[in-house]
Structure formats: structure tokens, C-alpha cells
Amino acid sequence: EVQLVQSGAEVKKPGESLKISCKGSGYSFTSYWIGWVRQMPGKGLEWMGIIYPGDSDTRYSPSFQGQVTISADKSISTAYLQWSSLKASDTAMYYCARLRIAARSGHYFDYWGQGTLVTVSS
Amino acid sequence: DIQMTQSPSSVSASVGDRVTITCRASQGISSWLAWYQQKPGKAPKLLIYAASSLQSGVPSRFSGSGSGTDFTLTISSLQPEDFATYYCQQANSFPHITFGQGTRLEIK
């Protein structure tokens, strides 16, 4: 069974750093891209970026380039999303998801983690 | 960047109703479109990919159609568990991923 298990909720102060995780199991972790999606309170889904754990190739949405860092450790089947200096506007639910790519059907997120709630408040 | 616009933003319907949600792309995306369902407090779930292919395990009352710029998600006979928010996502140009703003399906 494919599973993506994310780290727990975080409460941080503005200016602090944070790294959240997403552990994959039940499939070949190095063979699929993993993406991160932000959902601000009461809002829609925003794609942040993706990483290919096999070679750490990383692509960012222009909206998030330079704002976050996506990484992966294939030895422990875990992807990460990190911030060096959080802002109140980073308060959101963050989801990781496995990206399925098929030549005749495009690229879609077929399995999702349960989400990590990040709250940034002074 | 390709923009995705869903309509309506919200819709009220009753159990047993047929409901259609539309999604329009700002430029042609062939059939590279997916639909997701999100229930409150839960992660999104893939329903439809490639505009009309049903993801494994998704009930057959869900169907998708369209190509180019105009797409629809239809629920043929609403069930109580279908009340949720639905998002479309374009999958035309890797790695770019754009979601629609969502359509909230509420109980009338």
C-alpha cells in the first residue's frame, strides 16, 4: 500500500526556521517525483515545487522559488520542505503528494500525505 | 502561465441530483486535466485524470469530459459523501501544475 506520512503540526515564531518531512512507503521512492502543495486557511491548493528523489532534481513554482527549499534523503525515503525564516503568511496546511507521470495522461498527484499544519505567530 | 477558472464557485444540491462543475483553461491543454475531491480536514483525493479517466476505486457516478480549454466534472446522482470541494488541475506542461480555485458543493 502506497503511503505518505508527514511530520506533525508545528507552531513557530516569525523569523524561525523549520523543516517538515514526508516519508514514503509501499513503492519505489526513487522512481516518482514528490510534490509539495500549500493550502492557506480557507483557501485553495497551490503547487510549490517537486523533487525527484532518485537524483534530487528539483523544480519550483515561480511563486515559491527562493522562499522555500525542497530536498530529499532517498536512503530513508523522505522528502523535506524547509524555511530559513518564517513569516506569519506561511501559516498554512502543507501537503506532500506523489506525482504520477504518464506519456498519454500527463502528470497528476495520485497519493497524498495527511498534511502538516504550520502556524507562525508571535 | 496557464490559468484555470472553475465555475460555479459554490453550488447547492440535494442527494440524488445530477451536478456538473466546469473548468476553463486560459489556453489549450489537450486532455491534460485532473479533478480532485477534498473533504474538510482531509487531503485532496484524485478522482479523474486525462480529463475522463476514472482513478481506481472512484465510484462510476463520477465522470469527466472535455478537451482543449473547456472541461466538466459530472456527478450523476449525488450521495451524502460527495459533499466536498472539487478542484481541477492542468497537467499540460511539466513540471508546471496549476489548480483551479475550487468549487464547493453544499447540501441544499
pLDDT at B68: 95
pLDDT at A20: 98
Residues of chain A by 3-state class (helix, strand, coil), percent to 5: 5, 55, 35
pLDDT at B108: 86
Which grid cell sits at A10?
A: 508545528
Percent of chain A with pLDDT over 90: 95
The pLDDT mean for chain B works out to: 96
**pLDDT tens across A31-44, in order?**
999 999 999 999 99
Contacts of B45 in chain A (CB under 8 A): 112
Contacts of B89 in chain A (CB under 8 A): 45, 108-109
pLDDT at B12: 96
Task: For residue A88, report the phi and psi dihedrals to the nearest 5 degrees.
Answer: -60, -30
pLDDT at B11: 97
pLDDT at A49: 97
As a whole number, mean pLDDT of residues A58-82 equals 97
Q: CB–CB of B105/B95 below 8 Å?
A: no
d(CA B89, CA A71): 24
The nearest alpha carbon in chain B to A36 belongs to B97
Indicate the pairing of strand A10-12 with strand A116-120. Answer: parallel
d(CA A90, CA A106): 30
Q: Do A112 and B44 touch (CB under 8 A)?
A: yes
pLDDT at B80: 94
pLDDT at B41: 95
pLDDT at B91: 85
